[in-house]
Amino acid sequence: MMSQVAFDELIDKFVRYAEKNENIRAAFIVGSRAREKMPADEWADLDLVLFTENPEPFLNDKKWLSHIGRPVITFLEKTAVGESTERRVLFEGGLDVDFALFPVTTLSRMEKNTEVLHVLAKGVKVVVDKDDITRSIIQKAKALPPDNQRVAHRDIENHIHDFWYHAYLATKKLRRGELLDGKSICDGYMKDCLIRMMKLEVNTQESADIQVWHGYRFFENWAGSNACEQFKRLYARYEQEETWEALNNTMIFFHKISTNVCRRLNIDYPDEAAEYAMNLVNRLNDSRADT
């Protein structure tokens, strides 16, 4: 468990360091430690976004972290939004911090990125701004309409075809004897497709006052108890028969959700694609049972 006091002390150390480092021009906090709705709990990390003249020194060397705390684990990965790189750090005491690093020159592009703006709209706290460069992007984020997750009709149809193609692909992997590969498609890619469709379904409800979040965040809050109960049937152990059953249940549940979305949005459902994929899967499953 990580206390807010410990994070406040770490933030103070970072601000003192950033104020002295000319490479860092601005920084703000996003995520749960900047939100009023769904704020940080005892398990929350700290998300810091840094705008620098040159991010490379912070990516190529980890010595600078010692000015903030004692890093125990640190590595680099792509940011969830914004198309950049972040340094993830676990400091002594279990303090989990993500430093997302962006060149100052990318700010103008980020102001046009609705995904970035929606993250900021949920909550942002400026801790450093030497040149008043964050004012514009924060104003644009505050003026943004609520994120209702609606997408173009052609994108929804494409998404549905994508799911049914991967249902058949998972089936072929299972028939070939590649259990882990087939199970990974069913548990990973197909579940991502399902989650995106479920978010659309939530946002097509009339007078719905439910906020969905990026990725799988707060799934249990917005998906509802019935959907969570269904998910118990959509995963399997590393076992052939259970994986076939989970694949079949995933297809059934996706078909229900996606047809509901299309009905609400008055979109023609690609029935031929769904029926063709389901028939292929069932045929391969039946032939497997006969051998």
Q: What is the mean pLDDT of residues 34-53?
A: 90
Distances (CA, A) of 9 to 4, 19, 20, 243: 9, 16, 17, 48
Q: What is the mean pLDDT of residues 156-165?
A: 96
Query: pTM, whole model, 2 decimals?
Result: 0.80
Residue 147: the pLDDT is 54
Average pLDDT of the chain to the nearest whole number: 91
Tokens representing 185? 């498609």
CATH 3.30.460.10 occupies which residues in the chain?
Answer: 4-142
Contact 107, 131 (CB under 8 A): no
pLDDT tens string 224-255: 899 999 999 999 999 999 999 999 999 999 99
| CATH superfamily, with its number, for domain 153-290 | Nucleotidyltransferases  domain 2 (1.20.120.330)
Residue 273 predicted with pLDDT over 60: yes
Query: Torsion angle, CA of 276/281/282/286, rounded to 10 degrees?
Result: 140
Residue 150 predicted with pLDDT over 60: no
* 143 burial via Cβ count (<10 Å: 0-12, 13-18, 19+): exposed
Q: What distance in Å separates the CA atoms of residue 56 and residue 21, rounded to the nearest whole number?
A: 14
Residue 19: the pLDDT is 96
CATH 1.20.120.330 occupies which residues in the chain?
Answer: 153-290
**pLDDT tier at 176, thresholds 50, 70, 90:** very high
Residue 249: the pLDDT is 97
Is the pLDDT higher at 197 or at 286?
197
Q: What is the mean pLDDT of residues 95-113?
A: 94
DSSP-assigned letter for residue 31? G
Q: What is the mean pLDDT of residues 112-136?
A: 93
Q: In the chain, count H helices and then E strands.
A: 12, 6
DSSP-assigned letter for residue 145? P
The arrangement of secondary structure in 4-142, i.e. its CATH architecture, is 2-Layer Sandwich (3.30)
Residue 81: the pLDDT is 84
Residue 207: the pLDDT is 56
Contact 281, 251 (CB under 8 A): yes
Q: What distance in Å separates the CA atoms of residue 258 and residue 15, rounded to the nearest whole number?
A: 47
Q: What is the mean pLDDT of residues 149-157?
A: 76
Q: What is the mean pLDDT of residues 71-93?
A: 93
pLDDT tens string 177-201: 999 999 999 999 999 999 999 999 9
Residue 88 predicted with pLDDT over 70: yes
Give the CB-side neighbour count of residue 7, counting CA atoms within 13 A. 23
Helix axes 271-290, 240-265, angle to 10 degrees: 170
